[in-house]
Structure 1
């Protein structure tokens, strides 16, 4: 969830709670104020009625006549004056002749004495439209609050998008940034100080990363040149020594051992340099490569190793599986998978290679236990049955290439004693 969306949802939730509670409080307050107004009106009318009792009314017949003229004023005879003398307000439902229905009245009841006879003076005020009036007032207030809230929500959304636009522009540039392309990161003009400080911090971080990247790239290139050149000279001189006259059998054995060590150093150097390039995310240009042709080529080159160990090969390769990838990386990936399956296979074992447009699967016989937790893809990891010339970088290179190219890699132990490496190809193919 985006920060703006989360913030907006929090504000919206807060506004909803405030609107609900506020409407209830607003209704209660209006209700209380309205009843206070009605009670004051009844109290004033009581004073006028009491004044009329003293000045204008002379007999109980006048009281009955008044009630006939105004049904909201009634004198109810009492046997005796009650102990209470304070005004008593209440809600009284009564039949309304105009509407023909029961309706609520607000009533003020107070004891009075007229011509030395006790009465209860009852003054009423109709509340027929009170609930409707209060409801309309609350609805109007809630509507006004809702319009205000929605307006603030919309205004905040528009302003946030405009104010945060520089941030999203900066984020988009960072997502597309490549160290090897020496791109510049720009920030649109913005009055927000935090965004300007973020841009400055990003610029400083990128300059530092570019400097480290250049140093590592130069080191990798220099190491490739400085290490491979002496190794090539050593191989050349060893070849000359083998062809030299008068070479004894003991000397030939020493030279053969040195040539093996040199070959192993060459392979180790190339693997380490490729790992360094992958770790530094160097740019490997992609092209459309036929994976099926690459697999067939690598299998043809490994026929001698398969025959030397009497390994039975079973293949199921699709006619053509095109995908966009760096050709050299694909060759290293396929070669290391196959070589690893041959090296760690058993004599007269099985090697199954399947290729579909979705996945490349290499399955071989081997140790009768799972290698899931044995650091299979770790660098310089060597199993107990690994030959001496193995550098322990084959599967580490496979994992790094798959990670850089977006190809999911999965290891599965298939009992008894069968190990399966599977590289998913569909994802990368679709992206290309």
Structure 2
């Protein structure tokens, strides 16, 4: 599942900070407790010196300090030893009447010799921190700190990253509006971010390279189409002369006729490719308000013979006048290709229903071929299974023409065994 970079960054930061703070908290706790005990132990050592000094000066203190009292130390006889004066620190729980519970104490156990060379043990205690409560309070404090840090990062990222990534989203939006063959359809986004500037430059270089290749291909296609016209016409003419010779055997005559038919297909393909090249090279620049009702009637009259041959019924309903500003020649090619398609892929004794209103032209033809794939019918050289003799460029030319006019679009539907091609105005 894809996630946004903002979510990815926030998630990574939150987890990283949590791990760092956990490790830091353990180290901080260990360091702090070591420092606390070091200070407490220093205090106990200092008390030890003062108590031993007092015991030398006032031996009576030895007899009066056999149990913990107000002074928090006790002295009792012990066995002589070489390390009697060594310090032994421990942590013990002792009952504290004020809290009515056991509390932690730091205890120093050592010893000394009195003036009369008797050995005595000395224990000094002092109250110290409750590690459990301290750990809980530290954990609560760090949890609050963690929450504040994460919330601050989220808020900062929301505003900073939203502003910082704004040029990137604008670049993506402009890139989605880019159309091949239209260099001005992509506009670089001004930005102070170095990475986005580099992205702009790379996209511009890519578009420039692709457009240069595209222009070379279109120029080659147009030149090749022009150059093919003359040899094709000459070849067809010579084949006609051969067919007019009545001395040819029937088998050769059939082969020459098939060759002539293939050449005519090549002529049609050549004209279609030349038409596409001219459209994409913006050679049809003039425009005027075209009355499509009139264009459709004219084209139906031109196709009258083939319509009668296939015994196709024309049903034309004019609810309004479809008028669009475009090149008149392209409008004729547009309607011609749609009507040719409706006639060519119609059934014998079928019908064509043409509905016209102010905002829509619907051309529907009867068909037994079922629904076409709307993802491919406008692709170049896509012929499907309808006609192996087709060059697959008729509907592609229709789509290319309408792409030149953003206020017009075409859709395809298959309803009740009727193939519907609908030109609509975009408001």
Alignment TM-score > 0.5, same fold: yes
Determine if contact 1:26/1:138 at 8 Å carries over to the other structure: no
* Matched position secondary structure for 1:87: strand
How far the C-alpha of 1:273 sits from its partner, in A, is 0.9
Q: Give the 5 Å matches for 1:192-211.
A: 199=201, 206=208, 209-210=211-212
Determine if contact 1:338/1:362 at 8 Å carries over to the other structure: no
- Mapped to 2, the partners of 1:140 and 1:382 lie a distance apart of 67
* Matched position secondary structure for 1:346: coil
**Residue equivalent to 1:362:** 364
Determine if contact 1:402/1:409 at 8 Å carries over to the other structure: no
**Residue equivalent to 2:309:** 308
**Residue equivalent to 2:229:** 227
Is the counterpart of residue 41 in structure 1 residue 39 in structure 2?
yes
* Matched position secondary structure for 1:347: coil
**Residue equivalent to 1:244:** none
Q: Give the 5 Å matches for 1:196-275.
A: 199=201, 206=208, 209-210=211-212, 213=215, 216-217=218-219, 220=222, 223-224=225-226, 227=229, 267-275=268-276
How far the C-alpha of 1:310 sits from its partner, in A, is 2.5
Is the counterpart of residue 124 in structure 1 residue 122 in structure 2?
no
* Matched position secondary structure for 2:348: coil
Q: Cα–Cα, structure 1 residues 56 and 391, in superposed 2: closer, same or farther, change >3 Å?
A: closer
- Mapped to 1, the partners of 2:367 and 2:269 lie a distance apart of 26
- Mapped to 1, the partners of 2:277 and 2:215 lie a distance apart of 11
How far the C-alpha of 1:339 sits from its partner, in A, is 1.6
Cα offsets for 1:353-390 (capped at 9, x unmatched): 345747735232245x66659x866638496778x8x6
- Mapped to 2, the partners of 1:350 and 1:409 lie a distance apart of 20
How does the TM-score come out when normalised to structure 1?
0.59
Which stretches in structure 2 are left out of the alignment for 5+ residues? Answer: 56-60, 80-86, 113-117, 247-252
Cα offsets for 1:234-259 (capped at 9, x unmatched): 99xx9xx9xxxxxx998xxx9xx999
Determine if contact 2:109/2:124 at 8 Å carries over to the other structure: yes
- Mapped to 1, the partners of 2:336 and 2:27 lie a distance apart of 82
Q: Cα–Cα, structure 1 residues 197 and 265, in superposed 2: closer, same or farther, change >3 Å?
A: closer
Determine if contact 1:76/1:122 at 8 Å carries over to the other structure: no
Q: Cα–Cα, structure 1 residues 403 and 339, in superposed 2: closer, same or farther, change >3 Å?
A: same
Q: Cα–Cα, structure 1 residues 39 and 322, in superposed 2: closer, same or farther, change >3 Å?
A: farther
- Mapped to 2, the partners of 1:116 and 1:321 lie a distance apart of 122
Determine if contact 1:281/1:404 at 8 Å carries over to the other structure: no
- Mapped to 2, the partners of 1:176 and 1:396 lie a distance apart of 19
Q: Give the 5 Å matches for 1:302-381.
A: 302-316=303-317, 318-321=319-322, 326-354=327-355, 357=359, 360-367=362-369, 372=373, 379=381, 381=383
Q: Cα–Cα, structure 1 residues 289 and 24, in superposed 2: closer, same or farther, change >3 Å?
A: farther
Q: Cα–Cα, structure 1 residues 371 and 207, in superposed 2: closer, same or farther, change >3 Å?
A: closer
How does the TM-score come out when normalised to structure 2?
0.60
* Matched position secondary structure for 1:362: strand
* Matched position secondary structure for 2:421: strand
Determine if contact 2:62/2:75 at 8 Å carries over to the other structure: no
Q: Cα–Cα, structure 1 residues 276 and 142, in superposed 2: closer, same or farther, change >3 Å?
A: same
**Residue equivalent to 1:16:** 14
Q: Give the 5 Å matches for 1:79-228.
A: 86-89=88-91, 92=93, 97=98, 106-109=104-107, 111=109, 121-127=124-130, 130=134, 134=138, 138=142, 199=201, 206=208, 209-210=211-212, 213=215, 216-217=218-219, 220=222, 223-224=225-226, 227=229
How far the C-alpha of 1:192 sits from its partner, in A, is 6.4
Q: How many corresponding residue pairs?
A: 386
- Mapped to 2, the partners of 1:326 and 1:104 lie a distance apart of 99
